[in-house]
Structure 1
Amino acid sequence: MEEEKKTVRAVERALDVLLCFASGHEWGLTEIANKVGLHKSTIHRLLATLEDKGFVTRDPSTEKYRLGLSILELSAHLSRSDDPSVMLLPEMERLRDQLNETISLYVRDRTERVRIQAVQSTQAIRRVATVGARLPLSVGASSKVLLAFADPGVRDAVLSDPAWPAQLERESIAKQLDDIAAAGYATSFEEREPGAAAAAAPIFSRSGKLVAALSVSGPSNRLTPDRMREYAPAIIEAAHRMGTILG
């Protein structure tokens, strides 16, 4: 049993190393060790194994690591027939063309939200959304949507998590989430970063299951509270169409 636990722990550590590349395309040995919180000798052994299997590759000139071809080989076999990031892309582009702001698609992963698809605005000054970015569920329009329309158990678990920011009063947030559920959409104005604003609506499957949050984001001097209220019906309508597509 002890040997089994050690083996699983080794796999967890190797996966933690690979997940470093979700926030950067190349990393040095020391950088990875600091991010993962392990000794450099341990990281070196893990990287050697991953490199041998083709999951990472090392640039001899910089001594930095990046993802290898084995990742591409695996991703080529992902099922695209029921992938929301692929299925909903045309509707996201349609909404972008209608509102000319950046459109993002978020899903919840435990106590975080992950951007799984984005369509950038064509305006010179715009919000640039990076696919794969992980953000906290405590702030932002999409975070509020993913909590407001989640099962009560999910909402309670996130709000009671010890990592929840102490400055955000849980009772006040819970009341805000109830208001969002009644309104059908959420907004945020410079909550996560200065100069940025967003509005979001939930995407439900035909069975009524919350699938994702559809977000429209842009500079706060353009995406004002009044403008977001004006855009809300179009965002909600687009989210409804997307839910129909997902089936």
Structure 2
Amino acid sequence: MTVRAVERALDILLCFTQESDLSLTEIAAKISLHKSTVHRLLTTLEEKGFLLRNEATDKYRLGIRIWELSTHLPTLDEPAALLLPAMERLRDRLGETVSLYLRDDLERVRIQAVQSRQAIRRVAQIGARLPLSVGASSKVLAAYAPPEVQVRLLADSSWPEAVDRSLYLEQLKEITRCGYATSFEEREPGAAAVAVPIVGRSGKVVAALSLSGPVSRLSRETLEQYAAILTENAAEMGLMID
């Protein structure tokens, strides 16, 4: 059993995973609660230091307590910290945005990203949650997921109507055969990506490494060339994590 008030307070905090400043009205709309209820929760979170209110704009943002908690996160053995230098080298070599994803049930979470330095680039936000139905990294994580996860994924009510399930399953089989996945404007117009699995020392796929950018620079031929480079880097990264 869960405590409703705690759930609602956490839902409020989770609103800030996508935006840095939100008003009472915006938060209430996001979590589908009456503004009076949200106001009481906001007041409590503000008093405890988890949120700050800008009096000039009457908007809220994350408070100092969040940062204090984050300083105690275990980072020395986390993939996001361990693999960052290698991701930066890969970005410098290929010139595009490099991201690291983990699977969380039927979603993928971007736990690390190194942005391209080019003027026209794809900006990847750390912490973003995305569905497993579309995207190169999604397909890699789904391809190497247990069969029962794939079954639940295809039966999930949020599955997009535009994505053919049979074709998707064929793509997963092809990914396990060739070792990488590509995507062209599957999730974002104008964006392309290639992703490969990272196999840890345990022999299991622990993450997906991807490179993304505008389709104007990333043709299918280019992505196939980059897939070999990512695979080589992913093999080295896998030696660093369990």
**Secondary structure of the structure 1 residue equivalent to 2:240:** helix
Tell me what 1:178 maps to. 173
Counterpart residue identity of residue 77, structure 2? D
Counterpart residue identity of residue 126, structure 2? V
> Do the aligned partners of 2:106 and 2:149 also contact (CA within 8 Å) in 1?
no
User: How many percent identity over aligned positions?
Assistant: 62
Residue number among 51, 57, 70 corresponding to 1:75 in the alignment: 70
Number of corresponding residues: 242
**Secondary structure of the structure 1 residue equivalent to 2:193:** strand
Q: Judge which range, 205-214 or 138-147, deviates more.
A: 205-214
The CA deviation at 1:107 is 1.3
Tell me what 2:109 maps to. 114
Tell me what 1:211 maps to. 206
Residue number among 142, 145, 152 corresponding to 2:140 in the alignment: 145
The CA deviation at 1:217 is 0.5
**Secondary structure of the structure 2 residue equivalent to 1:202:** strand
**Secondary structure of the structure 1 residue equivalent to 2:210:** strand
Structure 2 CA distance for aligned equivalents of residues 27 and 76 of structure 1? 24
Counterpart residue identity of residue 224, structure 2? R
Tell me what 2:124 maps to. 129
Structure 1 CA distance for aligned equivalents of residues 35 and 205 of structure 2? 42
**For the aligned residues, what is the CA RMSD?**
1.2
Tell me what 2:225 maps to. 230
Residue number among 19, 30, 36 corresponding to 1:24 in the alignment: 19
**Secondary structure of the structure 2 residue equivalent to 1:245:** coil
The unaligned stretches of length 5 or more in structure 1 are: none
**Secondary structure of the structure 2 residue equivalent to 1:215:** strand
Q: Judge which range, 189-198 or 32-41, deviates more.
A: 189-198
- TM-score, length-scaled by structure 2: 0.96
Structure 1 CA distance for aligned equivalents of residues 208 and 71 of structure 2? 26
Structure 1 CA distance for aligned equivalents of residues 81 and 68 of structure 2? 18
Structure 2 CA distance for aligned equivalents of residues 237 and 156 of structure 1? 31
The CA deviation at 1:76 is 0.6
Structure 1 CA distance for aligned equivalents of residues 119 and 203 of structure 2? 38
Counterpart residue identity of residue 107, structure 2? E
1:194-209 equivalences in 2 (<5 Å): 194-209=189-204
Structure 1 CA distance for aligned equivalents of residues 77 and 69 of structure 2? 17
Residue number among 7, 13, 16 corresponding to 1:12 in the alignment: 7
Residue number among 223, 229, 244 corresponding to 2:239 in the alignment: 244
Q: Judge which range, 176-185 or 202-211, deviates more.
A: 202-211
Tell me what 2:154 maps to. 159
Structure 2 CA distance for aligned equivalents of residues 123 and 162 of structure 1? 38
Tell me what 2:186 maps to. 191
Residue number among 92, 97, 100 corresponding to 2:92 in the alignment: 97
The CA deviation at 1:53 is 1.0
The CA deviation at 1:134 is 1.9
The unaligned stretches of length 5 or more in structure 2 are: none
**Secondary structure of the structure 2 residue equivalent to 1:51:** helix
What CA deviation, in whole Å up to 9, does each residue of 1:186-240 have, x standing for no partner? 0001111221100000112111222111000111011100001111111011111
Structure 1 CA distance for aligned equivalents of residues 42 and 173 of structure 2? 47
Counterpart residue identity of residue 240, structure 1? A
Structure 2 CA distance for aligned equivalents of residues 157 and 242 of structure 1? 30
